[in-house]
Structure 1
Amino acid sequence: MSTSFDHTVVPLDQLLAEFGEQVVTPDDPRYDEMRAVYPGQFDRRPAVIVRPKDAAQVARVVTIARENGCELAVRGGGHSNAAHGVIDGGLVLDLRDMRELDIDVEGRTAWAQGGMSAGEYTHAVVAHGLVTGFGDTGSVGLGGLTTGGGVGYLVRKHGLTIDDLLAAEVVTADGQILHTDADTHPDLFWAIRGGGGNFGVVTRLKFRLHELESIYGGILILPATAETIEAFVTQAEAAPEELSTIANIMPAPPMPFLAPEHHGSLVIMAMMVFAGPQEDGERVLAPFRAIAAPLADMVQQMPYSGVYPPEDPGFHPVASSLTMFADRIDRQAAETIVKRLTSSTASMAATQLRVLGGAMARVPVDATAFAHRKSRIMVNLAAIYENPQDAPVHDAWVAEFADELRQSDHGAYVNFLADEGEERIRAAYPGATWDRLRAVKTTYDPTNFFHLNQNIPPLP
């Protein structure tokens, strides 16, 4: 059974009567800003946008949409590579006004509304010497990031974001507001830790907080050759769990802290985060600095919030991308990366490497819906370009690049998937994980009302 939707019939009068100025229509001066999402290739025009303030209002919007057969998109931070947070026609449920945060400093927990961004949360809790690990971008919404897993700068020290999720408030397709944790609706709690937005709107999240007064971290730029790429990954795998790295291999942009003669040359631009004191961090980073003479070294002691610098709100890149896992980055794989990056015709081509393991890998594979605990290295490939009509060229480049790099791990990270079809969604949820998620979907959303996501259909 599935729900039928009509893009042309939207209960605008009812929404205006109940939500007033929280409703944004195409003739509203806020409309274009509200419908914009991070990926620049999407220009979708919803019939109406509603900005609720709490779970009760979310439940009401969900109920109105369902009862009227109106298609619903749920927007958190707007970073979905498939632009699932916006739709042509239909109704957008925009969580951006739901950003309340309640910190229990003594109990080391925090309740955050689902529309809050990772950066806002981090800057607030770090004032108390506390942290929760999220992803690599501060403007990403907490709800979408967390329900997909959360792979960031503390992944080796504290695991995925979902490993610090203690409870959640979820609005389901029938308009109920459910509290879920390990003891209450445990099947739903299992599913929202990795299963994405398939099971409802996550309106509040309770996170564990860790003590961390400061980090030794920042950007380290090395020249990129097959030798230095292989050496970097080898050192990242051998480093203690306090160190997490995200290395972007790319032509160097014209950054002010990089000498002009290096602009455009292939570099490893790595974000290094050592969750500990500077003295220990310097010792751990010494082997990386010995790989080659750094072209720029901005690693220093700083608050953890420094990993989320200010972002340009007008940056909306048009890109082809693909996410995958690798067992190793040996010399052959490193040579492939160099060859492919130097052959791209995109305005910017990049390979991102995230060495995993540590705390993330110690959680049992079936403990959450994130099924890639044993994956060793996350690889993200991207080509950023100017003309959307050039998409087929860059899509083919990314696909061929991935085929050349692919090893025995055929998994995918759901938060970085674009609109790539069911086979790729199944790669994010292999084997028994897929079957279990479909069963939970059938319980909480039997008509697939929440389908604008990396969709897990209910059982027939």
Structure 2
Amino acid sequence: MDAEDRREQDTAHPRELEDLRARVSGTIVEPDDPLYDDARRVWNGMVDARPLAVVRAGSVADVDPVLSLAQHTGLPLAVRGGGHGVAGHGTVEGGIVLDLGALRRVDVDPASRLVTVEPGATLADVDRATNPHGLAVPLGVVSATGVAGLTLGGGVGWLTRSDGLTLDHLVAADVVTGTREHLHADARHNPDLFWGLRGGGGNFGVVTSFTFRARELPVPVLGANLFYRREKWRGALRAFARWTADLPDAMNSIASVLSLLPGFGLGEDPVLILGAAWVSPDTEEGLRLLERLRAEAPPDEEEVGPVEWPAWQSALDELFPKGSRAYWKNAALPALTDEVLDVLVGLASEISWYGTGFDLHHMGGFFGRVPAGATAFPNRSARYWLNVYGYWQDPAEDARLTAFARRVHAAVEPFTESGQYVNFLGAEHGAASPEAARQAYGERTHARLVALKDRFDPGNVLRRNHNIPPSSS
């Protein structure tokens, strides 16, 4: 878009924006506002859109008039919660951004273990509220992540084996649908919508309130990070594959290869980290299990001991600062065979730069016992979930580092199962590529999601996402 087009865009729909200003309690930031550049930014620095206006909601009551404006004008709408999604769907060129980031209240009822969360809250907000009660909602792995997007797409994190996905703990949601119905969704009320919200992303409405059932959590938990230099990677990953074959649910683990910042004291070369969080009060059993792994694959360095849950959840935050240029790919794996590990180690051995790597999330446990089709999450049988990621700052590196992630994904594809985790999909899998959603969910789940789209957003107002178009489009 050239400068003349942008000037025309910036002066379009002045009456509608003035009307909206009178109807919302929050603020509207337009291109001539000194706050505009900050307001339009999302976490992924590769996404550089210039919206017509950013509506910073002052309350959930601001959702309805913004949806009304988008319907009336046809302007593209982006809905932003925490704004941390790698695909950058929280902003849109020439449209309206509904920014819910100021709505971060978290209410905890310790007796019922129910946690009610506003749509702008982050993982850190929830952990800060629940930890004093010895409770935790299963969430992700970086505390700046927004709860809304994480939940609607799935929620893979440090409690996946012991407790499942974040969406498995969602018990109710209040929603303003694409048709502007105000609905409460749970197992008894609007159960079809409730099913779709748990994995189908933001395709059906704007969730204004999430209610989760938390789990009791040992305070502190037992955390472990075993560090391996390059020459030990293959042996350590093979040991990890054997170790994870028969673990109890309470042992959650992730294997990662990446370069750490100098402050971690492990040098500039990439390292393999076998990370584990044991969430049972039987600490001795957790230590015995970790010793079994350590004995088979002695680490070069290690950190093992009690840790407060919020500290564990935020330990890697500084690796992923806002504004990083980022690209991700993911795959569901039935097993860590020698062939898979050889591929991963071979490609990871090429890494010579900070910010790119992969995680192998050990699945199974509670996650795998949720029946297929009980939620819209696409695959419950995968034993491991691979996330290949890149983070960098220099735009000149965009082509090289996105190509690396694609190359790793292509190399493991012969060994994968069906299904893609939409929260791990990069920017090219957006509204312009609805076929990506079909491939991510599979035909049966996708067909159910299309039926919900026809019911709750037939005009596809909510299309700035991993989009499921209505059947009429």
- Shorter-chain TM-score category? over 0.9
In the alignment, does 2:135 pair up with 1:130?
Answer: yes
Q: Quick one: which of 46, 57, 61 aligns to 1:56?
A: 61
SS at the partner of 2:349? helix
Offset from partner CA, 1:106-145 (integer Å, 9 cap, x none): 1111111111111110121111011110111111111110
Q: Deviations over 1:309-360 (max 9, x none)?
A: 2745854222332111112222222222122122246544312100100001
Contact 2:379–2:418 (CA under 8 A) maintained in structure 1 = no
TM-score (norm 1): 0.92
Q: Deviations over 1:425-458 (max 9, x none)?
A: 2232112101010001100000111000000011
Which residue, 238, 241, 251 being the options, matches 1:233? 241
What residue number does 2:258 align with? 250
Q: Is the 8 A contact 2:436 2:466 kept in 1?
A: no
Instruction: Report deviation, 1:34.
Output: 2.1
* 1:401 pairs with one of 397, 401, 408: 408
Distance 1:345 1:257, change over 3 A: closer
CA distance in 2, matches of 1:234, 1:29: 56
Alignment pair present for 1:368 and 2:375 = yes
1:207 matched to 2:222? The reply is no
1:435 aligns with 2:439: no
Cα deviations by residue, 1:35-75 (Å, 9 ceiling, x for unpaired): 22111212212121112233322112211221222221000
In the other structure, the counterpart of 1:113 is 118
How far residue 170 of structure 1 moved from its aligned partner, in angstroms, is 0.6
Q: Displacement, 1:230?
A: 1.8
Structure 2 residue identity aligned to 1:442: D
CA distance 1:218–1:27, shift in 2 (3 Å):
farther
Q: What code does the residue aligned with 2:273 have?
A: M
Q: What's the Cα RMSD here?
A: 2.1
Gap change, CA 1:384 and 1:272, over 3 Å in 2: same
Letter aligned with residue 363 of structure 1:
V
Aligned to 2:227: 221
Residues 154 and 423, structure 2, Cα contact 8 Å, conserved in 1: yes
Q: 2:302 aligns with which of 297, 301, 305?
A: 297
Unpaired runs of at least 5, structure 2: 1-7
Indicate yes or no: 2:421 matched with 1:413. yes
1:326 corresponds in structure 2 to 333
Q: Note the C-alpha offset of 1:372.
A: 0.7
Contact 2:175 2:209 in 1 (8 A): yes
Partner of 2:50: 45
Alignment of 1:147-186 (within 5 A): 147-186=152-191
Amino acid at match of 1:189: F
Q: Matches of residues 1-40 of structure 1 in structure 2 within 5 Å?
A: 9-10=12-13, 11-19=16-24, 22-40=27-45
Listed one character per residue, the Cα deviations across residues 213-234 of structure 1 (whole Å, up to 9, x for unaligned) are 3210143323342111121132
Contact 1:218 1:307 in 2 (8 A): no
TM-fit CA distance, 1:212: 1.1
1:107 and 1:189 mapped to 2: Cα distance?
Answer: 21
Contact 1:341/1:349 (8 A) holds in 2: no
**2:170, 2:463 → 1: CA distance?**
24
Distance 1:99 1:349, change over 3 A: closer
Amino acid in structure 1 at the alignment position of 2:223: G
Cα contact 2:113–2:215 (8 A) shared by 1 = yes
Q: In 1, distance between residues paired with 2:383 and 2:78?
A: 33
Question: 1:265-304, aligned counterparts within 5 Å?
Answer: 265-277=269-281, 278-304=283-309
Aligned to 2:93: 88
Given residue 207 of structure 2, which amino acid in structure 1 is its aligned partner? V
Deviation at 1:205, TM superposition (A): 0.6
CA distance in 1, matches of 2:434, 2:292: 42
CA–CA separation in structure 2 for the residues paired with 1:320 and 1:52? 29
More displaced stretch, 135-144 vs 61-70: 61-70
Moved more, 278-287 or 196-205: 278-287
> Residues 218 and 203 (structure 1 numbering): CA distance in 2 closer, same or farther, change over 3 Å?
farther
Once the two structures are superposed, the pairs formed by residues 314-393 of structure 1 within 5 Å of their partners are 314-344=321-351, 347-393=354-400
Aligned 8 A contact 1:348 1:383 in 2: yes
Q: Does the aligned pair in 2 maintain the 1:221–1:295 contact within 8 Å? A: yes
Which one-letter code corresponds to 2:339 in the other structure?
Answer: Q
Q: Tell me, which stretches of 5 or more residues in structure 1 are unaligned?
A: 1-5
Amino acid at match of 2:275: M
Distance 1:257 1:298, change over 3 A: farther
Alignment CA distance shift 1:65-1:320 (3 Å)? closer
Percent sequence identity is 34
TM-score scaled to structure 2, two decimals?
0.90
1:74 aligns with one of 68, 79, 94: 79
Whether the 8 Å CA contact 1:347–1:386 is kept in 2: the answer is: no
The answer to whether the 8 A contact 1:7-1:70 is kept is no
